[in-house]
């Protein structure tokens, strides 16, 4: 994957450690056909990815008039507004708070379930199917059901809590419980993450556990000294993917709180993705929305980079093929 150019530079400075691969002679017809086959992707990439990102960057420095389709340069005013608009800070804080709560819980629950399933042997297929069903349920269906399950007065969740003597909160109204409500819904659909963990657990060589048994290691030590390092790649992948998803949380928040533009708990349920959507497609402030999108992009990039830096220290890749 590494570009050929860099290896050329290195080779020029010091005698090549590895023999440089001989220049491949490309067959012109074959190369041309190859480009033709991938041309749809190239068009999509140039127009809808690169083009869109460049366009977005331009718009973020402009005032976009939807009626006339004209973007007038507006300097950095959109970015300046990010700091003036208190809702940006609120939504960002809500989103980060949600991510910090959701991601570790999702990882723990998914890993716990995967460990359970990994131990069953026979019957694992059945339970795996059951656990996977929520993942097949459309987010809007999940929300429609949880809207009623989480109802503070009549919902089944508070009813169940009542049986054990806890009077449940007003999940969907009390600002303190807005994020836990969404986390709960997310956890219901955690099986995708679980399946990735399960696949990783299955690929851990059994011998390692046998050796550890002989050394007298208990289950806890085996978990932390064998299982966790051996599946660190999967943990790392899931953390990154779930973090990116959490920072863009939209569907559940929209369906539970923002369907009709007003929310029962407008402060606590205003997530970054919601505010961005509102600014873009309800207020048609495309310039401001684009500035918000770029801030989110940079934020996601930074967080991912930090995670990669930390991850590289801990992640063990079998065979180090990368």
Partner 1 sequence: MATTRAQPAGTELSSPTPAPEAATDVGRTRSRRKTRPPRAQAARLLLWALLVVVSAAFLYPLVWLIAASLKPRAEVFDNALIPRTFSPENYVQVWDQLPLGHWVANSFVIAILAATLVTFSSAMIAFGFAYFRFPGRNLLFGLVLATMMLPGAVTMVPQYLIWKNLGVLGTWIPLFGMNLFGSAFYIFLQRQFFLGLPRELFEAARIDGASYFGLFRRIALPLSIPSLVVIFIFEFQASWNNLQSALIYLNAGSVEGFTAPLGIAYAMTKYSPTNGGQGDYQYVMVATLLITLPMLILFAFGQRHFIEGVATEGRKG
Q: Select from 255, 257, 265, 270 the one that contacts partner 1 (CB under 8 A).
A: 255
65 belongs to the binding site for partner 1 (CB under 8 A):
no
Q: Give the binding range for partner 1 (CB under 8 A) out of 9-17, 89-97, 169-177, 187-195.
A: 187-195
Look up residue 186 and give its two tokens: 């997310």
Give min distance, CB of 98 to partner 1, in A: 15
Residues 188-227 that bind partner 1 (CB under 8 A): 188, 191-192, 195-200, 205-207, 210-211, 213-214
Query: What does the angle CA 58 – CA 63 – CA 64 come to, to the nearest 5 degrees?
Result: 85
Between 81 and 135, whose beta carbon lies closer to partner 1? 135
Footprint (CB under 8 A) of partner 1, residues 225-254: 233-234, 236-238, 240-241, 244, 247-248, 250-251, 254
Binding status of residue 51 toward partner 1 by CB under 8 A: yes
Rounded CA-CA distance 264/258 in Å is: 9
| Residue 179 buriedness (CB in 10 A; 0-12 / 13-18 / 19+) | buried
Q: Is 257 one of the binding residues for partner 1 (CB under 8 A)?
A: no
Residue pointed to by tokens 């017809």: 29
Quick check: 129 binds partner 1 (CB under 8 A)? yes
Q: In sequence order, what DSSP letters do the residues of 139-185 get, joined into one string?
A: HHHHHHHHHHHT-TTT-HHHHHHHHTT-----TTTSHHHHHHHHHHH
190 CB neighbour count, 10 Å cutoff: 23
Site string for partner 1, 86-125 (x = CB under 8 A): ---------------------------x--xx-xx--x--
Query: For the chain, how many helices (H) and strands (E)?
Result: 17, 2
Question: Could you say which residues in the range 4-43 bind partner 1, by CB under 8 A?
Answer: 24, 26-27, 30-38, 40-43
């Amino acid at each position: 994957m590494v570009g050929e150019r860099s290896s050329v530079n290195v080779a020029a400075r010091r005698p090549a450690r590895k023999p440089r691969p001989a220049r491949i002679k490309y067959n012109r017809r074959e190369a041309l056909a190859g480009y033709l086959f991938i041309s749809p992707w190239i068009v999509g990439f140039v127009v809808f990815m690169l083009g869109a990102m460049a366009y977005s960057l331009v718009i973020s420095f402009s005032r976009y008039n939807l009626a006339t389709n004209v973007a007038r340069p507006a300097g950095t005013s959109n970015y300046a507004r990010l700091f003036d608009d208190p809702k940006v800070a609120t939504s960002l804080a809500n989103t980060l708070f949600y991510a910090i709560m959701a991601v570790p819980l999702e990882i723990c629950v998914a890993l716990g379930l995967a460990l359970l399933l990994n131990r069953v042997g026979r019957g694992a297929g059945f339970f795996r199917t059951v656990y996977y069903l929520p993942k097949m349920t459309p987010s809007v269906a999940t929300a429609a059901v949880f809207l009623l399950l989480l109802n503070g007065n009549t919902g089944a969740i508070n009813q169940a809590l009542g049986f054990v003597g806890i009077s449940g909160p007003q999940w969907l109204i009390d600002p303190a419980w807005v994020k836990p409500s969404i986390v709960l819904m997310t956890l219901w659909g955690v099986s995708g993450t679980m399946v990735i963990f399960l696949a990783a657990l299955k690929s851990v060589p059994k011998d390692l556990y046998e050796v550890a048994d002989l050394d007298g290691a208990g289950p806890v030590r085996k978990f932390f000294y064998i299982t966790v390092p051996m599946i660190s790649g999967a943990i790392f992948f899931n953390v990154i993917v779930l973090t990116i998803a959490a920072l863009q949380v939209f569907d559940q928040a929209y369906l539970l709180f923002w369907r009709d533009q007003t929310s029962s708990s407008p402060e606590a349920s205003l997530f970054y993705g919601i505010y961005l959507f509102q600014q873009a497609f309800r207020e048609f402030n495309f310039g401001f929305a684009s500035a918000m999108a770029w801030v989110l992009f940079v934020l996601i990039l930074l967080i991912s980079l930090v995670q990669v830096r930390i991850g590289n220290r801990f992640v063990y890749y079998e065979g180090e093929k990368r």
